[in-house]
Chain A
Amino acid sequence: MKLKAIVDDQEHELNVKIEGDRVNAEIDGRVYELELREPEPGSYLFLRDAAVHECRVSKAHESFDVNLHRRNYAVTIVDPKRLRSGQGAHGHHHGLAEITAPMPGKVVRVLIETGDKVEKGAGLVVVEAMKMQNEMKSPRVGVVVSINVKPGDTVNAGDVLAVVE
């Protein structure tokens, strides 16, 4: 299967073949031959030259959270074959990034206007929840195409606050 994987805003070309308990993978030209075991759902145990690498994978919002050797990796998989309607597909296909509220709260400030150019990590909207103020940041460089909230608005977890293209 041919896929694209995005980690830390970097796109990688992936070609993964599974044959029984063998995995042959190629990533940007790097070749991996791995022995694969799946001791429980979401656990991928790779053996490579006798070295053990246990990956715990769970779905986290629009990406996969992979825990490997006590580190966490946020991996977004883009499947070129996939229809557009599927979840997880829209963001990277269209170059849109939705900034969502992580939990219920109240909008305190809106730091940007529609049409503003923003850098990755720029503060967009400040949401107060659990007596703390949290600045929601832009996940990428781009232009603010919509702002869906104003100061004083109450938001629920998952509500789209703004969209950056």
Chain B
Amino acid sequence: MFRKVLIANRGEIAVRIIRGCRELGIKSVAIYSEADAESVHVRAADEAVCVGPASSSQSYLNIEAIIAAATSVNAEAIHPGYGFLAENADFARAVTAAGLTFIGPSADAMDLMGSKTSARRVAVEAGVPIVPGTVEEITSFEEARKTAEKFGYPVMLKAAAGGGGKGMRLVTSSDELNSSFTAAQAEAAAAFGEAAVYLEKAVERPRHIEIQIFADTHGNVVHLGERECSIQRRHQKVIEECPSPIDDPDLRQRMGDAAVKIGQTVNYTGAGTIEFLLSDTTREFYFLEMNTRLQVEHPVTELVTGFDLVREQFRVAAGEPLSFTQDDVRWVGHAIECRIYAEDPANNFFPSPGTITYLREPSGPGVRVDSGVANLSEVSIHYDPMIAKLAVWGRTRDEAIERLRRALDEYQVAGITTTLPFFREVARDEEFVAGKLDTGFIARFNERRVEVEPPPEQNDLAMIAAALHYSRYEQPVFVQGGAQVSDGRWKMAGRTAGLRRWRKS
């Protein structure tokens, strides 16, 4: 096993990987930007190296600086987490060239599965169905028009180098095609430096279901079942579950076999996720893309299968076989995860950066919080606004939902706006409880949601509390001579009390 590993990431996922290191007795090295010097992942690590200024292109995406950092502290391996450089084959090659181990698949497998068009070719080779579409990129509008007519509307335009919903356009009729084609190309070029787009038939009321696979260097490829990720905003997941509310063992087997087949076809190693679209009506599934890394939503799989995916990643990268076989994989109970974003759900999920002035995270039975923030943390505009993940486990989906409601109610974040109020409503929504999920869920939810008025006395109590707070901390006091002192009389007392509290502990 490794002696020392550098984690080329930040936030909650860096903390998650550091926890894995600690359990295995591996020394952990954090990297950080100048804006992140006081952040939680730095505080959790054994060692930390600054790799550049706040802008991620100069820090968390700076391949040279990251490898120099790893070399300077004699780390043996680099774990990329997700996002940033996790799916960058050039980074994987640079890590290997520096004599270090990249904790992930081979650069060749990343290249093959990283481009959506070549990934679709792999799927076809593996005998896995794909959504009717072009395997090659579309270069002219005329070609796009002909292809769209062949498949029939609605169709999807997608960036070949894409991910995260960027460069993606749903086109419902031929009138929209021209402008969408131009826009998708421009967006793809801006986001990925490559304007190539391709076209697929859009599956109606699709569920987004993905299969977790794991492969070692000894030829073992297994799957850990599915995750339902249909609840999305801007084509990004916000709630994930394991298993899917469909919970069909036969379907799981078929999808699992297809995913394993793809893994075998590309000689995959480590953790990977095969994403599928599933038609709710026909139960047919189509290969969508592969993510060649640990996923954000891996905790729901961990809660239901009991395996520690980060631990297995370390094992596989160190050349050891997986600690389990396909027959050892059992799915017990139900897990649901909510991604807590610093975003305003009432304003189209617009990012809401700022300082967290108060934080109380939930705990208790069946609750897991993977958090990247602490009290007084600054949520910066430079990085992804996800601050934490709340995952719950229950014996049944209903029990998990009851726990989710309770945990969401315990969760308090002040100073920034978060998606918590949105999740509290969704967790009580009839369609959600019934498991009627597809990628159009949030749009329909926003249409039907009705705001429930709180009891009027609560409104009054909130005003009384605000008035008390004002009198404690802000009310001006008049001293001799009539000069106004800006600090309230209780403010100083409060500070002194706070200091006393710290001294005590």
Q: A residues touching B (Cβ–Cβ < 8 Å)?
A: 1, 3, 5, 7, 12, 14, 16, 18, 23, 25, 27, 30, 32, 34, 36, 40-42, 44, 46, 48, 53, 55-60, 63-73, 75, 77, 79, 81-83, 86, 88, 102-104, 129-130, 132, 134
Contact = CB atoms under 8 A, between A and B. Distances in A.
Contacts of B474: 59, 77, 88
Interface string B418-458: 00010010000000000000000000000000000010011
Contact of B465 (A55, A79, A86, A132): A55
Nearest to A71: B454
Contacts of B476: 81-83, 86
B467 interface: yes
Nearest to B415: A58
Contacts of B353: 103
A79 to B, nearest CB: 7
Q: Is the interface of B mostly helix, strand, loop or mixed?
A: helix
B350 A134 contact: yes
Given A41-B497, A71-B454, A77 B470 contact: yes
B55 to A, nearest CB: 13
B466 A77 contact: yes
B217 interface: no
Given A18-B471, A25-B464, A58 B351 contact: no
Contacts of B424: 70
Interface string B460-475: 1111111111110111
Nearest to B460: A27
A36 B498 CA distance: 19
A22 to B, nearest CB: 12
B125 interface: no
Nearest to A134: B350
A104 B382 CA distance: 11
B61 to A, nearest CB: 16
14 contacts: A3-B467, A5-B466, A7-B463, A32-B461, A34-B461, A58-B357, A58-B358, A59-B474, A60-B415, A66-B462, A67-B412, A102-B352, A104-B381, A129-B351
A57 B351 CA distance: 22
Nearest to A25: B464
B347 interface: yes
Interface string B474-505: 11100000001010000000100110010000
